[in-house]
């Protein structure tokens, strides 16, 4: 059953983002795509072990043959070294340019499968079927696809929009706590970027209010999609405004890289990165103390990490691999107020180090 739909429209692209209870309706959406030769479901064995029987049952009435390609789970496996094997599987099964790739899983699968779709035969169509909260509110929306290399995360990628996003919310019922943190951190980020009613309502919620079938969750997903799609539709290829979506990610990516993607989930790292950005915002662009305390309160209500545990000097070193580096400074997204982000703010290394040291203390 379809729960809600939002359409994302930009320059040269237009596609729906739909929330569903389960997989019912996915075949109908796929059959509406013209001239599909084959469908490839790219997923991890972990996801397949839980949900393959359900999606297989739904796809039996598909008007084209379908098969599964299994990926190794985890951020460390979203690596360019893994790409060749999947290309060869597609070539060996005669995948042509009329094939459709389904990214069935969380953000890692979505990024990786989207990168495959964007580059195989210079681009085949793909569909996002997100199974985590983070993928629902972030990676499945906006068309950023990428893989990692040894020196950094998402350093090789493309902007490549899906045909549609089909989110079966019942898959969220099996999420571990770390995955809930991932999604809730992105929801908090979108609330900071948007301000207004969204921020106020989310501030009144707490972690226990979020479950796969809760109205609170559905509201948060719908509003997050509204915020992100509104930004992406104005700036698909991050030439300006879209950069605000990197709020919290400069520190977050550095933490992930430093800890080799093992200690933190993406959302936990971004949550810590949001606090870095909030501290810098208070220091540099006039974000008020009152707003800072409100933001920290929201994050604690959602049980997100706020303190930095790693050595500030090591974090700074990994920040310098970031795509937003410029000379002796790094570019940050900061907040002048809720709903008033400012991107491309140059911050000197000395200031960053001072703030990171402060973040290791009590907040």
288 annotated among ligand-binding-site residues:
no
Catalytic residue among 189, 242, 282, 318: 242
109 annotated among ligand-binding-site residues:
yes
Catalytic residue among 38, 253, 282, 342: 253
Catalytic residue among 20, 38, 190, 249: 249
Which residue matches tokens 């605000």? 244
227 annotated among ligand-binding-site residues:
no
110 annotated among ligand-binding-site residues:
yes
The verdict on whether 206 is a catalytic residue reads no
The verdict on whether 38 is a catalytic residue reads no
The residues with which 19 forms a beta bridge, in sequence order, are 4, 167
CATH 3.40.50.1970 residue spans of the chain: 2-172
Q: Does domain 2-172 have CATH number 3.40.50.1970?
A: yes
The verdict on whether 242 is a catalytic residue reads yes
249 annotated among ligand-binding-site residues:
yes
d(CA 211, CA 187): 14
By CB atoms closer than 10 A (0-12, 13-18, 19+), residue 214 is middle
Catalytic residue among 38, 78, 125, 144: 144
CATH 1.20.1090.10 residue spans of the chain: 177-210+236-360
122-157 CB burial, b ≥16 within 10 A, e <16: eebbbbbbbbbbbbbbbbbbbbbbbbbeeebbbeeb
The verdict on whether 238 is a catalytic residue reads yes
190 annotated among ligand-binding-site residues:
no
Query: What does the pLDDT read at residue 118?
Result: 98
The residues with which 126 forms a beta bridge, in sequence order, are 101
Catalytic residue among 58, 75, 238, 310: 238
Dmax over CA atoms of the chain, in Å, equals 60
DSSP, collapsed to helix, strand or coil, labels residue 171 as helix
132 annotated among ligand-binding-site residues:
yes
Catalytic residue among 20, 266, 282, 318: 266
- In the chain (363 residues long), the average pLDDT of successive 10-residue segments reads 84 89 97 97 95 96 96 89 97 98 96 98 97 94 92 89 96 93 96 96 96 95 94 87 94 92 89 98 98 97 96 93 66 97 95 96 71
The verdict on whether 246 is a catalytic residue reads yes
Query: What does the pLDDT read at residue 82?
Result: 95
Catalytic residue among 18, 125, 222, 246: 246
Class of domain 177-210+236-360: mainly alpha
The verdict on whether 148 is a catalytic residue reads no
Note if the pTM is more than 0.85: yes
Query: What does the pLDDT read at residue 153?
Result: 78
d(CA 51, CA 24): 13
107 annotated among ligand-binding-site residues:
yes
The verdict on whether 253 is a catalytic residue reads yes
The verdict on whether 122 is a catalytic residue reads yes
Query: What does the pLDDT read at residue 3?
Result: 86
173 annotated among ligand-binding-site residues:
yes
Which residue matches tokens 């974090």? 315
Distance between alpha carbon 10 and the CA centroid of its chain, in Å? Answer: 19
Q: How many CB atoms lie within 10 A of CB 354?
A: 15
The residues with which 325 forms a beta bridge, in sequence order, are 330
d(CA 117, CA 102): 9
Q: How many CB atoms lie within 10 A of CB 324?
A: 18
């Amino acid at each position: 059953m379809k729960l809600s739909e939002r359409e994302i429209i930009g320059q040269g692209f237009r596609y729906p983002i739909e929330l569903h209870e389960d997989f019912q309706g996915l075949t109908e959406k796929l059959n509406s795509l013209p001239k599909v030769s084959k469908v490839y479901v790219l997923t991890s064995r972990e996801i397949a072990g839980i949900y393959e029987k359900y999606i297989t049952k739904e796809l039996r009435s598909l008007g084209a043959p379908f098969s599964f390609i299994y990926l190794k789970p985890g951020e460390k496996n979203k690596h360019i070294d893994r790409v060749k094997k999947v290309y060869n599987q597609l070539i060996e099964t005669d995948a042509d340019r009329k094939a459709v790739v389904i990214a069935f899983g969380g953000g890692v699968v979505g990024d990786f499968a989207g990168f495959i779709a964007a580059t195989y035969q210079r681009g085949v169509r793909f569909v996002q079927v997100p199974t985590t909260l983070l993928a629902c509110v972030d990676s499945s929306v906006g068309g950023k696809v990428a893989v990692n290399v040894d020196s950094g995360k998402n350093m090789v990628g493309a902007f490549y929009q899906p045909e549609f996003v089909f989110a079966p919310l019942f898959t969220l019922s099996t999420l571990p706590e770390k995955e809930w943190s991932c999604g809730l951190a992105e929801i908090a980020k979108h609330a900071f970027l948007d301000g207004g009613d969204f921020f106020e309502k989310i501030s009144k919620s707490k972690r226990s209010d979020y479950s796969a079938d809760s109205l609170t969750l559905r509201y948060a997903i719908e509003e997050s999609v509204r915020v992100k799609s509104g930004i992406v539709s104005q700036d698909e290829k991050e030439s300006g405004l879209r950069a605000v979506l990197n709020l919290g990610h400069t520190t977050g990516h550095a933490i992930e890289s430093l800890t080799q993607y093992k200690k933190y989930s993406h959302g936990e790292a971004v949550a810590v990165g949001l606090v870095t950005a909030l501290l810098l915002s208070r220091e540099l662009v006039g974000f008020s103390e009152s707003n800072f305390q409100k933001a920290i309160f929201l994050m604690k209500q959602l049980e997100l990490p706020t303190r930095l545990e790693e050595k500030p000097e090591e974090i700074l070193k990994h920040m310098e691999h970031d795509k937003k580096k410029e000379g002796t400074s790094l570019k940050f997204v900061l907040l002048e107020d809720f709903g008033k982000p400012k991107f491309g703010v140059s911050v000197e290394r000395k200031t960053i180090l001072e703030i990171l040291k402060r973040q290791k203390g009590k907040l």
